[in-house]
Amino acid sequence: MSNLGILVPIAIFTVGPMSWAFNNWVRARHGYEPETWKGRRQRRQEGALESDRKILLLSDENEKLVGKIGRLEERLAVLERIATDPAERTAREIEALR
């Protein structure tokens, strides 16, 4: 029974590092960067900065795309008007523009 009293603390202190080593082995095998003890905190902070930058870039891209959609809707409205209007009216408007 005295051997069990010694093995329990040894098992407690070896399970953590062994699971960390196994986790790093699996991460490395699948192409991810292995973790370091300080790496978790640094990645969280870098991830927050990176996500803020991504949000800024995506919002800029969103504004550009909204502008393009607006212009395309205007062009589509003109094309629909040309397609549905009678030919005489369209011809008169074209002549008036010349």
d(CA 41, CA 44): 5
Residue given tokens 């040894």 in the structure block: 10
Closest by CA position to 44, among listed 31, 35, 56: 35
Positive or negative: CA dihedral 13, 16, 19, 23 = negative
Q: What is the pTM of this model?
A: 0.41
16-50 pLDDT tens trace: 889 888 988 898 888 887 776 565 555 666 666 77
Which strand (E) or helix (H) includes residue 31? none
48-91 pLDDT tens trace: 677 788 888 999 999 999 999 999 999 999 888 888 877 788 78
Instruction: Indicate the DSSP class of residue 30.
Output: T
Numbers of helices and strands, H then E, in the chain: 3, 0
